Structure 1
């Protein structure tokens, strides 16, 4: 049974954030009103019988209480309105800053309400609002101006400052020339001036290693994109009983291209075990693993599957930290698949020490035309029917741009140690349907705090970059 995605029109991000903040403000004001009622009711109940306010008027107590309550709650609403105006004026505020601003206002206002001191509410709210707005990191535009596509580089820099990933590397490559046209990087939430993560070889490849498995499977001529693979259990797990397939298996199956697109661990592990470690190593060699590159740029990416057993299954589906990958090599792999050419490391003039200064031919083999075609189609399947489908869509891209592009990619996620956190990958491409010479390669690697804040998903960031590039390239201003 097939499911078809019917995207819905959504409001822009800023408007959605504003509406959420307004809803939070209304909710907090309502809670404060209820709290004031309870507080005042309790206070009135503790007064002795026959207590008289304003002469002998028995209703004076309730009137004064209503006036005090309205006065306190109006100050709460006023302070929340001030916070909302501050958010509308400061476009550079991040979502976290907006949330802290509103929650800070609400907390200060509610504390003051319990003390029934309207003047103190206004001052406390103003102090809280001022403290909750984080200071932006100073922007050093030197590394931005040095990049080939300055406008795209500035866009990436703004996104990093807005989304604030703990660690990240963003790489954009022009496939035809294989030149790096824009990049960005963060460490400990701060934007960096040099992309040293590009060449670092300690990042777990996660499910990006599945590219090796289907390449080896198609090179063996035993599998095609539509080959049925036993599909046992959950896709994100890898238990030994999921790998024990009976000889006369008649259970559910999944096509090879869908197993790759949906990043299904057990089916890819079964494929790898049937293909064999030798073919996997040969395919990995063509994709640049276990190689020492000229000048050590990039660092060595490791892929060493055992000859048999559960370790072979782990390596086949990327369910191990032992398989590592550099962002620079990931971009080279996508370019090799898109251009149907042997592997070549992307180069750039403006990042000495982190990328080659010119094109360098590598001593690696080439896949068959059928394998290159299959890899490309499997990556496109990841966007149309797989793990990248949700974010690389009209939710984050203009419909005109999305419909004008062939977009493919592969996602991956796994815990790692250097640096410590949850690794999230996306490597992929966007290519014009009308003019295939217009295309880009996007690689994003993010590391999230396991116990804390997570930035926007890598697929969403990739979609925004592709959308910006398409606006500038496919529809040039007249």
Structure 2
């Protein structure tokens, strides 16, 4: 914009000079006469020394100021003033602030390469609030992370332990875990499917005794994040089984040193509130990013829950592995949860972005990728919460795997950055490029 304004100013000056050459012939002939008159009327050196002079101004300057300008001189002065005005208008009053990048928090991370890629994405996409977390499942160690607040990259990941984030549809993991633990449901069990998936009206929960309407398999209801079918499952399973499954996933627990904060899940025994909790259609169910990573790692490894740790993040993650007093799901439930998460990538809400659109084809084909998406409005901080939690595991060597958790909070009235699934796909792609083909 500034260059365009300057170019326009130069063009105007050029046109003015051409006009003065064409139409200013008379003034050009008079200019030497005026110049001569001025030069002949100037005082000599002797008279200048004897004349009374103001201490702040020389005699020649005073004589020039009092002499009338010719038309040619007046035109040149006007052009100069116009050019100065245009330049002043396009020149910002304050220079843009230069961002100073502090790379200390990047160099202190386990996987510096991946940490640098995350930092680049945060500065490029500029999410309002966000946290990105990558965990190595075998050791359960945090290998890379990134965070923004108010659009600025942070040096400390204090969102890891914050427990005011609504879990949204990530709470559906509790529901299908409770359903499979009850031995009344399998991945292929048909569930009544009435109305839109993103809504939850009471009429969508009323199922006739001899229902013959449309149905959806349990794994697809989870993969497509269908609220009414999951709410129906939760109401049939009951609050007691839901709470038991939630405990195995780390909800309603006070962790050592308060790291992370307590994630809450308290469904009522009956009614519409039970349906809301079953599908995550409520702000009262909360989840910390650190616990979300622990849940995915537990599902992937088929082991009891453990909170991810890091050696150099004492306020935001445990310093070492800590065994928790939680139960373990059956092998069938772990298998079902893993397959349902893979279904979310192949046939569900994450299918569009976690694909060859955002990943190299060879990386995408070499991995088993699973996950769960979720979105809901929240108030601390205020905005639209968008989740992705998932994993990527090499098909040929299952020991090569990562857990990825992405949480972004968008301004409801403002700019939205790239979808959380797209960010997760890029992180997985970076990791796969370095890990699978390093030789």
Q: Give the TM-score range, shorter chain.
A: 0.7 to 0.9
Q: Does 1:439 align with 2:401?
A: yes
2:331 to 369, 380, 387: 369
Matched position secondary structure for 2:434: helix
Report deviation, 1:137. Answer: 2.8
Q: Does 1:307 align with 2:269?
A: yes
Q: 1:201 to 1:405 in 2, by over 3 A?
A: same
2:295 to 327, 333, 341: 333
Report deviation, 1:123. Answer: 5.6
Q: 1:155 to 1:134 in 2, by over 3 A?
A: farther
Give, in whole Å, the separation in 2 of the partners of 1:155 and 1:396. 15
Give, in whole Å, the separation in 1 of the partners of 2:275 and 2:417. 31
Q: Does 1:392 align with 2:366?
A: no
Q: Which residue of 2 aligns with 1:200?
A: 162
Where in structure 2 are the equivalents of 1:173-184 lying within 5 Å?
173-184=135-146
Give the superposed CA RMSD.
Answer: 2.0
Q: List per-residue Cα deviations over 1:5-40 (Å, max 9, x = no partner).
A: xxxxxxxxxxxxxxxxxxxxxxxxxxxxxxxxxxxx
Q: Which residue of 1 aligns with 2:282?
A: 320
Instruction: Give the total of aligned pairs.
Output: 361
Q: Which residue of 2 aligns with 1:251?
A: 213
2:371 to 409, 430, 434: 409
Where in structure 2 are the equivalents of 1:83-122 lying within 5 Å?
none
Q: Which residue of 2 aligns with 1:15?
A: none
Q: Does 1:170 align with 2:132?
A: yes
Matched position secondary structure for 2:222: helix
Q: Which residue of 1 aligns with 2:12?
A: none
Give, in whole Å, the separation in 1 of the partners of 2:329 and 2:312. 32
Q: Which residue of 2 aligns with 1:260?
A: 222
Conserved 8 A contact 1:405-1:433: yes
Matched position secondary structure for 1:184: strand
Q: Does 1:454 align with 2:421?
A: no
Q: Which runs of 5+ in 1 are unaligned?
A: 1-53, 55-117
Matched position secondary structure for 1:235: coil
Give, in whole Å, the separation in 1 of the partners of 2:361 and 2:154. 33
Where in structure 2 are the equivalents of 1:215-294 lying within 5 Å?
215-294=177-256
Report deviation, 1:350. Answer: 1.6
Q: Which residue of 2 aligns with 1:360?
A: 322
Runs of 4+ off more than 6 Å = 118-122
Report deviation, 1:306. Answer: 0.2
Q: List per-residue Cα deviations over 1:415-445 (Å, max 9, x = no partner).
A: 0000000000000000000000000000001
Q: List per-residue Cα deviations over 1:145-172 (Å, max 9, x = no partner).
A: 1100011101101100000000001000
Q: Which residue of 2 aligns with 1:140?
A: 102
TM-score by length of 2: 0.79
TM-score by length of 1: 0.73
